[in-house]
Structure 1
Amino acid sequence: MRKRKPENTTPVLDNRALNRATLARQHLLARSDASVPEAVAHLCGLQAQEPQEPFTGLWSRLTGFRPEHLDDALTGRAVVRTHLMRRTVHLLSRDDALAWRARHDAMLRQRMLGTYRSELAGIDLDELAAAGRAVMADRQPRTMAELVQEVRNRWPGPPRRVLGELLVAALVPMAQLPPRGLWHRTSGVRNLPLAAWLEQDITPLPAGEAGDGDPVGQQLLRRYLAAHGPAASADLRAWCGLAGLPAAVKAVREELVAFRDERGRELLDLPDAPRPDPDTPAPVRFLPAFDNAILGYHDRSRIIDAPHLGLSVAGHRAVLVDGRVAATWSVREHRLHVSPFRALTTQEREAVHAEAQDLSVFLDEGIEQVRLDTAG
């Protein structure tokens, strides 16, 4: 008699359970009393290519947050703007920026080559990186154009923009200095080597970056799960841009617990991380453009419906209603406009309007009216 295969007893988490876990860990189920550096560290960074957007992200997550709290963290160098995950500008805690940058080096180079392979053909990246570091060794902040001008004679072929982006986003670990990213400030990007700005060397990459269990990758995995879990390896890769961190996953697997989602994917998580009851009420929250509560996953179905996925990568700001993206919002002509995807109940409309009113006061942009459109 053929033996029956044992049934899979791995617990299944439906989308609502995953949604509440994400909200809890992202400080979106209840605002946190954490400081700005603590919150930025817990969240593993905030996407920040649009300099003003992180202010809304932190306002929605932290009790009593005021813009000067982030300004002080940036000018005090407790938080730094730099290219890291997915070759995108992020706000990171100083310790994370120093510890994680070397682990992302190969990915940053590969993404540049994948985008500009023909323009960069024949260029020795190590030689160009050495030239860039030599230029910046005087510790004088430079714009990308100024840095390119210093090396242009040796590499006249590539377009200036490509050469500059390669230097500041991949080859030379850079910090984008204040006033870039300060509240209600418009400023171009001035770069300084990350180690010089933070006055500490970047943590060297351990021998065999993916060998020896990949210790830096292990830290990334644990921290990612603390802020985004439960999650699949594909979600981890989508968040950081690294190639799945297989050695790290293997090394810490026995520390983790496993679940499955409704599609049957395996999800990993920290044993003691919060997984609230799926029926836990979720308040209305306004998210900035490119918020990692949405972009931090390969499968974003826990928080946004498939028809609206394109909005999350196109820079639209989102409104969470009952924990899911149910509207977009914008500010124009002295109005805060909310555009729902579906008909909202009377109670939901009142909650959205109240949160929008509070956001209008926080933004301090002369908003005179909240306009809640009909679903369309």
Structure 2
Amino acid sequence: MGDGLRYIGAAERRARLALRHRLAESTRAAGPAEVAESLVALHGTDPATVYLAVGARLTDPAKTVAETERALYEDRALVRMHGMRHTVFVFPVGLTAVVHASTGLAVAARERATLVKDMAKAGAPDAAWLAEVEQSALAALTRRGQATAAELAEDEPRLREQFVYAAGKSYEGVHTVSTRLLRVLGVEGKVVRGRPLGSWTSSQFRWTVAPEHPELDVAGAQTELLRRWLAVCGPATEADLKWWTGWRVTDVRRALAAIGARAVSLDEGTGYVVDGDVDLVAGPTEPWAALLPGLDPTAMGWQRREWYLAPELWPSLFDRSGNVGPTVWWNGRVVGGWAQRADGEIVWRLLEDLGGVERQAAEAAVSREAERLRGWVGAARVTPRFRTPLERELSA
């Protein structure tokens, strides 16, 4: 490309994605913890996404629900907590301290200050009162082991108190103390989401006290998180890294320097890989297809997505807030979308014109993945939390 840096094109980036994100059949994992370690984080805003993302990457997807539930709620090998961009993710338990220090502390400070400010504006009790309620609620949660907000309010009735948020504004609303306080405690790393009240698709979670972890240096934690992510998702640009982490660009640059990241040339400009990852990476020998859920960590991994998702497909596959819906992948790029109908059938559509023999091969591979998905999902019905135009059309 004329700048002396090794050029990594779209084809090689897709090959890296296939191998490192465990999407090619030969790279699939044995269990959920292995998938999470490979991807660094599983998007958890929509509970079903965690299971669907795991199932797409398991050698034996029949184990998806049972093994993921065990990892989350029994073995505690995986933890659902707030992470990058103030979003809920599922992380390997060994990464929770890194995530908390690298991304959670700054968000937590803002969230607590905002809560205290909002309560003061509404004439609600002061910070000392809130601290007393907080300690009482945490003690109750420790006694119970896990509980919903309503159950905690039985032990600490002050959690039911309400205050008006943004009075006089178009977005005025009434919040209970429990709703806002538990959110703050979550980003502070004091509580995490526990087992849901319903099935694996349920959004009604219990809360539990967060597992203990060491308090790490912020800069060191940022360095470690960026190193792990770049090893899985590199090459990536500064803009990709800033978007994924939610950090300031100065933090991104400091962490890149700390890990000795190597610059490479990409179609969209300068990118970075971890030291030792500059050499050519050959992709899987076999063609592959995948049906990934809405908000899948691969589909949402980069800010610039043209190398795996054509811009003309975005209106069909994204909602108005930029959330990606269920996607169909063929050899490292998004070529369509899928949905589940009320009768359980998995339906899909190719949006990209593959042409001739390649289209036949893609359709056969996607059909196999659709049957594989339907087989382990069984009687469950999955509706994405953030619905997209194509998903709505197909599911109807």
Q: Say yes or no: TM over 0.5.
A: yes
SS in 2 for 1:178: strand
Q: Cα–Cα, structure 1 residues 191 and 31, in superposed 2: closer, same or farther, change >3 Å?
A: same
Pairwise mapping of residues 1-376 of structure 1 onto structure 2 (< 5 A)? 8-29=3-24, 30-65=26-61, 66=63, 67-75=65-73, 76-109=75-108, 119=118, 128=130, 131-138=133-140, 139=142, 140=144, 141-144=146-149, 150-151=158-159, 153=161, 156-158=163-165, 159-161=173-175, 164=178, 166-172=180-186, 173=189, 174-179=191-196, 183=200, 186=202, 188-194=204-210, 198=211, 200=212, 202-206=213-217, 209=218, 214-244=219-249, 245=251, 246-253=253-260, 256-272=261-277, 276-277=281-282, 281-309=286-314, 311-312=317-318, 313-334=322-343, 335-344=345-354, 345-365=359-379
CA distance in 2, matches of 1:93, 1:144: 25
SS in 2 for 1:82: strand
Q: Cα–Cα, structure 1 residues 282 and 168, in superposed 2: closer, same or farther, change >3 Å?
A: farther
Matched-pair contact (CA < 8 Å) for 1:84–1:90: yes
Number of the residue aligned with 1:4: none
Letter of the structure 2 residue corresponding to residue 176 of structure 1: R
Displacement, 1:295?
0.9
Letter of the structure 2 residue corresponding to residue 135 of structure 1: A
Matched-pair contact (CA < 8 Å) for 2:98–2:222: no
Q: Which shifted more, 286-295 or 265-274? A: 265-274
Displacement, 1:117?
11
The CA RMSD measured in Å over matched residues stands at 3.4
Displacement, 1:137?
2.4
Listed as ranges, the gaps of 5+ residues in structure 2 are 166-172, 382-392
SS in 2 for 1:277: coil
CA distance in 1, matches of 2:298, 2:128: 35
Matched-pair contact (CA < 8 Å) for 1:37–1:79: yes
Under a length normalisation based on structure 2, what TM-score does the superposition of the two structures give?
0.76
Displacement, 1:129?
6.3
Displacement, 1:170?
3.6
Displacement, 1:219?
0.7
Matched-pair contact (CA < 8 Å) for 1:51–1:181: no
CA distance in 1, matches of 2:50, 2:96: 17
CA distance in 2, matches of 1:168, 1:191: 9
Identity %: 23
Displacement, 1:31?
3.0
User: How many equivalent residue pairs?
Assistant: 348
Q: Cα–Cα, structure 1 residues 72 and 352, in superposed 2: closer, same or farther, change >3 Å?
A: same
Displacement, 1:275?
5.2
More helix by share: 2
Listed as ranges, the gaps of 5+ residues in structure 1 are 1-6, 368-372
Matched-pair contact (CA < 8 Å) for 1:135–1:150: no
Number of the residue aligned with 1:370: none
CA distance in 2, matches of 1:57, 1:363: 12
CA distance in 2, matches of 1:145, 1:353: 44
Q: CA offsets per residue over residues 315-359 of structure 1, 9 Å max, x none?
A: 521110121111111111322110221245222211211221222
Matched-pair contact (CA < 8 Å) for 2:30–2:60: no
